[in-house]
Structure 1
Amino acid sequence: MTPVFAHGSLRLYLLSLLAEQPRHGYELIQALSDRFGGTYIPSAGTIYPRLAKLEEEGLVTKATDGRKTVYEITAAGRAELLAREGDLDAIETEVTDSVRRLADEVRFGVTEAMKSLRADLASAKRQARDDGAATPPEATNEPGAATRLESNRALHEADLVLNEFRQQLRADLRRSAARSRVPATTVPELRRQLAEVRAGILASLSH
Protein backbone atom coordinates (compact mmCIF):
# COMPACT_ATOMS: atom_id res chain seq x y z
CA MET A 1 0.00 0.00 0.00
CA THR A 2 1.29 3.48 -0.83
CA PRO A 3 2.30 5.79 2.09
CA VAL A 4 -0.62 7.59 3.72
CA PHE A 5 1.23 10.56 5.20
CA ALA A 6 4.10 12.50 3.72
CA HIS A 7 7.24 12.79 5.85
CA GLY A 8 6.48 14.76 9.03
CA SER A 9 2.74 15.03 8.33
CA LEU A 10 1.64 12.37 10.80
CA ARG A 11 3.51 14.14 13.61
CA LEU A 12 1.56 17.35 12.99
CA TYR A 13 -1.71 15.49 12.55
CA LEU A 14 -1.29 13.80 15.92
CA LEU A 15 -0.84 17.22 17.47
CA SER A 16 -4.10 18.35 15.88
CA LEU A 17 -5.94 15.35 17.31
CA LEU A 18 -4.55 16.04 20.77
CA ALA A 19 -5.60 19.69 20.41
CA GLU A 20 -9.19 18.45 20.23
CA GLN A 21 -8.88 16.55 23.52
CA PRO A 22 -6.37 14.47 25.52
CA ARG A 23 -6.18 10.89 24.28
CA HIS A 24 -4.32 7.70 25.00
CA GLY A 25 -2.50 5.80 22.29
CA TYR A 26 -5.38 3.50 21.33
CA GLU A 27 -7.77 6.44 21.07
CA LEU A 28 -5.37 8.16 18.67
CA ILE A 29 -5.19 4.99 16.55
CA GLN A 30 -8.99 4.76 16.58
CA ALA A 31 -9.38 8.44 15.70
CA LEU A 32 -7.07 8.04 12.71
CA SER A 33 -8.95 4.92 11.62
CA ASP A 34 -12.24 6.84 11.84
CA ARG A 35 -10.85 9.75 9.78
CA PHE A 36 -9.85 7.26 7.08
CA GLY A 37 -13.10 5.31 7.15
CA GLY A 38 -11.27 2.20 8.33
CA THR A 39 -9.08 2.07 5.22
CA TYR A 40 -6.01 3.01 7.25
CA ILE A 41 -5.26 1.78 10.78
CA PRO A 42 -1.82 2.82 11.99
CA SER A 43 0.11 0.36 14.12
CA ALA A 44 1.26 1.04 17.65
CA GLY A 45 4.81 0.94 16.28
CA THR A 46 3.90 3.91 14.09
CA ILE A 47 2.14 6.02 16.73
CA TYR A 48 4.09 5.62 19.97
CA PRO A 49 7.57 6.56 18.65
CA ARG A 50 6.11 9.80 17.27
CA LEU A 51 4.36 10.53 20.55
CA ALA A 52 7.67 9.95 22.34
CA LYS A 53 9.35 12.41 19.97
CA LEU A 54 6.64 15.01 20.54
CA GLU A 55 7.12 14.58 24.27
CA GLU A 56 10.88 15.06 23.93
CA GLU A 57 10.23 18.32 22.04
CA GLY A 58 7.92 19.52 24.81
CA LEU A 59 4.89 19.60 22.52
CA VAL A 60 2.91 16.99 24.49
CA THR A 61 2.91 15.63 28.01
CA LYS A 62 1.77 12.26 29.23
CA ALA A 63 0.14 11.14 32.45
CA THR A 64 -0.95 7.79 33.77
CA ASP A 65 -4.67 7.25 34.17
CA GLY A 66 -5.08 3.85 35.75
CA ARG A 67 -3.46 1.43 33.32
CA LYS A 68 -3.54 3.92 30.44
CA THR A 69 -1.08 6.61 29.41
CA VAL A 70 -2.91 9.75 28.33
CA TYR A 71 -1.25 12.31 26.07
CA GLU A 72 -2.12 16.02 26.21
CA ILE A 73 -0.94 18.88 24.03
CA THR A 74 1.11 21.62 25.69
CA ALA A 75 1.10 25.37 25.08
CA ALA A 76 4.19 24.86 22.92
CA GLY A 77 2.29 22.26 20.94
CA ARG A 78 -0.61 24.65 20.33
CA ALA A 79 1.85 27.32 19.25
CA GLU A 80 3.36 24.83 16.80
CA LEU A 81 -0.09 24.15 15.34
CA LEU A 82 -0.86 27.84 15.03
CA ALA A 83 2.46 28.50 13.32
CA ARG A 84 1.90 25.68 10.87
CA GLU A 85 -1.81 26.24 10.25
CA GLY A 86 -1.23 26.31 6.49
CA ASP A 87 0.65 23.03 6.65
CA LEU A 88 -2.20 21.49 8.64
CA ASP A 89 -4.74 22.57 6.00
CA ALA A 90 -2.56 20.89 3.39
CA ILE A 91 -2.45 17.76 5.51
CA GLU A 92 -6.26 17.72 5.72
CA THR A 93 -6.37 17.84 1.93
CA GLU A 94 -3.74 15.11 1.88
CA VAL A 95 -5.87 12.97 4.18
CA THR A 96 -8.91 13.43 1.92
CA ASP A 97 -6.87 12.39 -1.10
CA SER A 98 -5.41 9.45 0.82
CA VAL A 99 -8.88 8.23 1.84
CA ARG A 100 -9.96 8.32 -1.81
CA ARG A 101 -6.81 6.54 -2.95
CA LEU A 102 -7.04 3.89 -0.25
CA ALA A 103 -10.71 3.30 -1.05
CA ASP A 104 -9.75 2.77 -4.70
CA GLU A 105 -7.00 0.35 -3.67
CA VAL A 106 -9.39 -1.58 -1.41
CA ARG A 107 -12.02 -1.67 -4.15
CA PHE A 108 -9.47 -2.89 -6.68
CA GLY A 109 -8.19 -5.47 -4.21
CA VAL A 110 -11.69 -6.81 -3.56
CA THR A 111 -12.43 -6.93 -7.29
CA GLU A 112 -9.20 -8.79 -7.99
CA ALA A 113 -9.85 -11.15 -5.07
CA MET A 114 -13.31 -11.97 -6.45
CA LYS A 115 -11.84 -12.57 -9.89
CA SER A 116 -9.20 -14.82 -8.36
CA LEU A 117 -11.83 -16.69 -6.36
CA ARG A 118 -14.00 -17.25 -9.42
CA ALA A 119 -10.96 -18.45 -11.35
CA ASP A 120 -10.02 -20.83 -8.51
CA LEU A 121 -13.56 -22.22 -8.38
CA ALA A 122 -13.64 -22.69 -12.14
CA SER A 123 -10.24 -24.39 -12.02
CA ALA A 124 -11.35 -26.68 -9.19
CA LYS A 125 -14.50 -27.55 -11.13
CA ARG A 126 -12.50 -28.40 -14.24
CA GLN A 127 -10.04 -30.42 -12.19
CA ALA A 128 -12.85 -32.38 -10.53
CA ARG A 129 -14.39 -33.06 -13.94
CA ASP A 130 -11.05 -34.16 -15.36
CA ASP A 131 -10.35 -36.35 -12.35
CA GLY A 132 -13.76 -37.94 -12.72
CA ALA A 133 -13.11 -38.66 -16.39
CA ALA A 134 -9.59 -39.94 -15.80
CA THR A 135 -10.48 -42.14 -12.82
CA PRO A 136 -13.22 -44.66 -13.61
CA PRO A 137 -15.60 -45.47 -10.80
CA GLU A 138 -14.27 -49.06 -10.91
CA ALA A 139 -11.06 -47.73 -9.36
CA THR A 140 -12.78 -46.82 -6.12
CA ASN A 141 -11.59 -48.63 -3.01
CA GLU A 142 -15.09 -49.15 -1.64
CA PRO A 143 -15.69 -52.90 -1.26
CA GLY A 144 -18.08 -54.25 -3.89
CA ALA A 145 -18.37 -50.92 -5.67
CA ALA A 146 -16.91 -52.22 -8.93
CA THR A 147 -19.23 -55.24 -8.89
CA ARG A 148 -22.29 -53.08 -8.23
CA LEU A 149 -21.31 -50.71 -10.99
CA GLU A 150 -20.86 -53.56 -13.47
CA SER A 151 -24.19 -55.06 -12.43
CA ASN A 152 -26.04 -51.74 -12.83
CA ARG A 153 -24.44 -51.20 -16.21
CA ALA A 154 -25.50 -54.70 -17.37
CA LEU A 155 -29.03 -54.09 -16.12
CA HIS A 156 -29.23 -50.83 -18.03
CA GLU A 157 -27.97 -52.47 -21.21
CA ALA A 158 -30.41 -55.38 -20.75
CA ASP A 159 -33.27 -52.87 -20.53
CA LEU A 160 -32.11 -51.33 -23.77
CA VAL A 161 -31.93 -54.75 -25.45
CA LEU A 162 -35.42 -55.73 -24.26
CA ASN A 163 -36.92 -52.43 -25.40
CA GLU A 164 -35.22 -52.74 -28.75
CA PHE A 165 -36.45 -56.35 -29.08
CA ARG A 166 -40.02 -55.39 -28.18
CA GLN A 167 -40.07 -52.51 -30.65
CA GLN A 168 -38.64 -54.59 -33.48
CA LEU A 169 -40.89 -57.60 -32.86
CA ARG A 170 -43.96 -55.37 -32.56
CA ALA A 171 -43.10 -53.71 -35.86
CA ASP A 172 -42.62 -57.12 -37.48
CA LEU A 173 -45.97 -58.42 -36.18
CA ARG A 174 -47.80 -55.32 -37.39
CA ARG A 175 -46.35 -55.65 -40.85
CA SER A 176 -47.39 -59.31 -40.93
CA ALA A 177 -50.87 -58.45 -39.58
CA ALA A 178 -51.25 -55.91 -42.36
CA ARG A 179 -50.84 -58.80 -44.81
CA SER A 180 -53.05 -61.15 -42.71
CA ARG A 181 -50.09 -63.40 -42.01
CA VAL A 182 -50.20 -63.69 -38.17
CA PRO A 183 -51.55 -67.18 -37.33
CA ALA A 184 -53.32 -67.96 -34.05
CA THR A 185 -50.37 -70.06 -32.87
CA THR A 186 -48.07 -67.01 -32.84
CA VAL A 187 -48.85 -65.89 -29.28
CA PRO A 188 -48.42 -69.32 -27.61
CA GLU A 189 -45.19 -69.80 -29.52
CA LEU A 190 -44.02 -66.37 -28.40
CA ARG A 191 -44.83 -67.18 -24.78
CA ARG A 192 -42.98 -70.50 -25.00
CA GLN A 193 -39.84 -69.05 -26.53
CA LEU A 194 -39.78 -66.10 -24.16
CA ALA A 195 -40.15 -68.46 -21.22
CA GLU A 196 -37.19 -70.49 -22.49
CA VAL A 197 -35.09 -67.34 -22.88
CA ARG A 198 -36.04 -66.22 -19.37
CA ALA A 199 -35.18 -69.59 -17.88
CA GLY A 200 -31.80 -69.56 -19.61
CA ILE A 201 -31.03 -66.08 -18.33
CA LEU A 202 -32.05 -66.97 -14.79
CA ALA A 203 -29.85 -70.04 -14.93
CA SER A 204 -26.87 -67.94 -15.96
CA LEU A 205 -27.56 -65.48 -13.12
CA SER A 206 -27.55 -68.23 -10.50
CA HIS A 207 -24.00 -69.38 -11.36
Structure 2
Amino acid sequence: MSPAVFSHGDLRLYLLSLIAESPQHGYGIIQALTDRTGGTYTPSAGTIYPRLAKLEEEGLVTKTVDGRTTIYTITDAGRAEVTAREGELAGIEAGLTDSVRLIANEVRQSVQEAMKSLRADLASAARDDRTASKSRPRTPADDERIVSREELHRADAVINAFRARVRTDLRTHVARGGALPASVVSDLEDGLDAAAKGVTAALAALQKPGR
Protein backbone atom coordinates (compact mmCIF):
# COMPACT_ATOMS: atom_id res chain seq x y z
CA MET A 1 0.00 0.00 0.00
CA SER A 2 1.39 3.36 -0.96
CA PRO A 3 0.68 6.61 0.87
CA ALA A 4 -1.70 7.48 -1.99
CA VAL A 5 -4.18 4.97 -0.55
CA PHE A 6 -4.87 7.59 2.08
CA SER A 7 -6.53 10.24 -0.03
CA HIS A 8 -6.64 13.87 1.05
CA GLY A 9 -7.65 14.04 4.70
CA ASP A 10 -7.88 10.27 5.21
CA LEU A 11 -4.54 9.90 6.98
CA ARG A 12 -5.40 12.78 9.31
CA LEU A 13 -8.72 11.15 10.22
CA TYR A 14 -7.13 7.73 10.64
CA LEU A 15 -4.48 9.14 12.96
CA LEU A 16 -7.24 10.72 15.04
CA SER A 17 -9.09 7.39 15.22
CA LEU A 18 -5.93 5.60 16.40
CA ILE A 19 -5.49 8.13 19.19
CA ALA A 20 -9.20 7.76 20.04
CA GLU A 21 -8.57 4.05 20.70
CA SER A 22 -5.92 4.86 23.29
CA PRO A 23 -3.27 7.53 23.97
CA GLN A 24 -0.38 7.05 21.57
CA HIS A 25 3.19 8.16 21.05
CA GLY A 26 4.56 8.89 17.60
CA TYR A 27 6.44 5.62 17.16
CA GLY A 28 3.40 3.65 18.31
CA ILE A 29 1.29 5.36 15.65
CA ILE A 30 3.84 4.58 12.94
CA GLN A 31 3.96 0.94 14.08
CA ALA A 32 0.16 0.71 14.15
CA LEU A 33 -0.06 1.99 10.58
CA THR A 34 2.59 -0.52 9.51
CA ASP A 35 0.74 -3.39 11.17
CA ARG A 36 -2.70 -2.46 9.88
CA THR A 37 -1.50 -2.13 6.31
CA GLY A 38 0.17 -5.53 6.39
CA GLY A 39 3.64 -3.98 6.44
CA THR A 40 3.19 -2.28 3.07
CA TYR A 41 3.09 1.30 4.36
CA THR A 42 5.47 2.60 7.00
CA PRO A 43 5.15 6.39 7.19
CA SER A 44 8.14 8.50 8.09
CA ALA A 45 8.34 10.67 11.18
CA GLY A 46 8.27 13.62 8.79
CA THR A 47 4.83 12.48 7.63
CA ILE A 48 3.32 11.78 11.04
CA TYR A 49 4.58 14.46 13.41
CA PRO A 50 3.48 17.51 11.39
CA ARG A 51 -0.03 16.02 11.22
CA LEU A 52 -0.02 15.39 14.97
CA ALA A 53 1.05 19.00 15.51
CA LYS A 54 -1.81 20.13 13.28
CA LEU A 55 -4.32 18.03 15.25
CA GLU A 56 -3.02 19.60 18.44
CA GLU A 57 -3.31 23.07 16.92
CA GLU A 58 -6.93 22.33 16.00
CA GLY A 59 -7.67 21.29 19.57
CA LEU A 60 -8.41 17.68 18.63
CA VAL A 61 -5.55 16.14 20.62
CA THR A 62 -3.37 17.19 23.51
CA LYS A 63 0.16 16.07 24.25
CA THR A 64 2.04 15.35 27.44
CA VAL A 65 5.76 14.72 27.75
CA ASP A 66 6.86 11.73 29.80
CA GLY A 67 10.64 11.77 29.93
CA ARG A 68 11.73 11.51 26.30
CA THR A 69 8.33 10.31 25.09
CA THR A 70 5.49 12.54 23.92
CA ILE A 71 2.04 11.03 24.41
CA TYR A 72 -0.94 12.22 22.37
CA THR A 73 -4.45 12.00 23.83
CA ILE A 74 -7.71 12.78 22.07
CA THR A 75 -9.88 15.64 23.32
CA ASP A 76 -13.66 15.79 23.49
CA ALA A 77 -13.65 17.75 20.24
CA GLY A 78 -11.47 15.12 18.61
CA ARG A 79 -13.71 12.30 19.77
CA ALA A 80 -16.74 14.17 18.47
CA GLU A 81 -15.14 14.42 15.02
CA VAL A 82 -14.32 10.70 14.99
CA THR A 83 -17.92 9.89 15.92
CA ALA A 84 -19.31 12.24 13.28
CA ARG A 85 -17.13 10.68 10.57
CA GLU A 86 -17.62 7.01 11.42
CA GLY A 87 -18.86 6.32 7.89
CA GLU A 88 -15.67 7.68 6.35
CA LEU A 89 -13.59 5.63 8.79
CA ALA A 90 -15.47 2.49 7.81
CA GLY A 91 -14.55 3.14 4.19
CA ILE A 92 -10.89 3.62 5.09
CA GLU A 93 -10.88 0.39 7.12
CA ALA A 94 -12.47 -1.46 4.19
CA GLY A 95 -9.68 -0.23 1.94
CA LEU A 96 -7.04 -1.45 4.39
CA THR A 97 -8.73 -4.86 4.60
CA ASP A 98 -8.76 -5.14 0.81
CA SER A 99 -5.08 -4.29 0.75
CA VAL A 100 -4.22 -6.99 3.29
CA ARG A 101 -6.29 -9.50 1.31
CA LEU A 102 -4.35 -8.56 -1.81
CA ILE A 103 -1.08 -9.14 0.04
CA ALA A 104 -2.27 -12.60 1.11
CA ASN A 105 -3.21 -13.44 -2.48
CA GLU A 106 0.19 -12.29 -3.71
CA VAL A 107 1.94 -14.45 -1.11
CA ARG A 108 -0.12 -17.49 -2.13
CA GLN A 109 0.68 -16.83 -5.78
CA SER A 110 4.36 -16.55 -4.92
CA VAL A 111 4.24 -19.88 -3.09
CA GLN A 112 2.48 -21.51 -6.04
CA GLU A 113 5.11 -20.18 -8.44
CA ALA A 114 7.88 -21.40 -6.14
CA MET A 115 6.29 -24.86 -6.00
CA LYS A 116 5.98 -24.90 -9.78
CA SER A 117 9.64 -23.97 -10.12
CA LEU A 118 10.67 -26.67 -7.63
CA ARG A 119 8.67 -29.28 -9.52
CA ALA A 120 10.35 -28.20 -12.76
CA ASP A 121 13.77 -28.45 -11.11
CA LEU A 122 12.92 -31.87 -9.76
CA ALA A 123 11.75 -33.07 -13.16
CA SER A 124 14.94 -31.72 -14.76
CA ALA A 125 17.10 -33.44 -12.15
CA ALA A 126 15.25 -36.71 -12.74
CA ARG A 127 15.82 -36.43 -16.48
CA ASP A 128 19.51 -35.75 -15.93
CA ASP A 129 19.74 -38.80 -13.66
CA ARG A 130 18.02 -40.99 -16.23
CA THR A 131 20.38 -39.76 -18.94
CA ALA A 132 23.40 -40.42 -16.76
CA SER A 133 22.14 -43.88 -15.82
CA LYS A 134 22.01 -44.88 -19.49
CA SER A 135 25.72 -44.23 -19.89
CA ARG A 136 26.78 -46.35 -16.90
CA PRO A 137 25.30 -49.02 -14.64
CA ARG A 138 23.26 -47.57 -11.79
CA THR A 139 24.26 -48.54 -8.27
CA PRO A 140 22.33 -48.49 -4.97
CA ALA A 141 24.28 -45.33 -4.10
CA ASP A 142 22.91 -43.68 -7.24
CA ASP A 143 19.37 -44.56 -6.22
CA GLU A 144 19.95 -43.15 -2.75
CA ARG A 145 21.30 -39.88 -4.18
CA ILE A 146 18.25 -39.54 -6.43
CA VAL A 147 15.87 -40.10 -3.54
CA SER A 148 17.83 -37.67 -1.35
CA ARG A 149 17.69 -35.01 -4.04
CA GLU A 150 13.96 -35.46 -4.43
CA GLU A 151 13.43 -35.23 -0.68
CA LEU A 152 15.61 -32.11 -0.49
CA HIS A 153 13.37 -30.42 -3.06
CA ARG A 154 10.32 -31.50 -1.08
CA ALA A 155 11.85 -30.16 2.15
CA ASP A 156 12.50 -26.81 0.45
CA ALA A 157 8.88 -26.64 -0.68
CA VAL A 158 7.57 -27.53 2.78
CA ILE A 159 9.73 -24.88 4.47
CA ASN A 160 8.78 -22.17 1.96
CA ALA A 161 5.08 -23.00 2.21
CA PHE A 162 5.22 -22.96 6.02
CA ARG A 163 7.01 -19.61 6.10
CA ALA A 164 4.54 -18.03 3.69
CA ARG A 165 1.48 -19.38 5.51
CA VAL A 166 2.61 -18.31 8.99
CA ARG A 167 3.82 -14.91 7.79
CA THR A 168 0.50 -14.27 6.05
CA ASP A 169 -1.53 -15.40 9.07
CA LEU A 170 0.45 -13.17 11.44
CA ARG A 171 0.35 -10.09 9.24
CA THR A 172 -3.34 -10.49 8.45
CA HIS A 173 -4.22 -10.98 12.12
CA VAL A 174 -2.32 -7.87 13.23
CA ALA A 175 -3.53 -5.79 10.28
CA ARG A 176 -7.11 -6.51 11.33
CA GLY A 177 -6.39 -5.13 14.78
CA GLY A 178 -5.71 -8.44 16.53
CA ALA A 179 -3.27 -8.63 19.42
CA LEU A 180 0.00 -10.52 19.02
CA PRO A 181 1.31 -11.38 22.50
CA ALA A 182 5.02 -11.97 22.97
CA SER A 183 4.13 -15.45 24.27
CA VAL A 184 2.83 -16.47 20.83
CA VAL A 185 6.05 -15.41 19.12
CA SER A 186 8.09 -17.12 21.86
CA ASP A 187 6.10 -20.34 21.34
CA LEU A 188 6.74 -20.07 17.60
CA GLU A 189 10.45 -19.55 18.21
CA ASP A 190 10.61 -22.50 20.63
CA GLY A 191 8.70 -24.74 18.23
CA LEU A 192 10.98 -23.91 15.31
CA ASP A 193 14.06 -24.39 17.48
CA ALA A 194 12.78 -27.81 18.62
CA ALA A 195 12.03 -28.80 15.00
CA ALA A 196 15.51 -27.71 13.87
CA LYS A 197 17.15 -29.68 16.68
CA GLY A 198 15.04 -32.70 15.77
CA VAL A 199 16.19 -32.55 12.14
CA THR A 200 19.83 -32.09 13.21
CA ALA A 201 19.61 -35.06 15.59
CA ALA A 202 17.98 -37.27 12.94
CA LEU A 203 20.68 -36.43 10.40
CA ALA A 204 23.42 -37.03 12.97
CA ALA A 205 21.93 -40.45 13.76
CA LEU A 206 22.09 -41.39 10.08
CA GLN A 207 25.82 -40.66 10.05
CA LYS A 208 26.63 -43.04 12.94
CA PRO A 209 28.83 -46.04 12.06
CA GLY A 210 26.88 -49.04 10.96
CA ARG A 211 24.02 -47.00 9.49
Pick the structure with greater CA Rg.
1
TM-score w.r.t. the length of structure 1 is 0.49
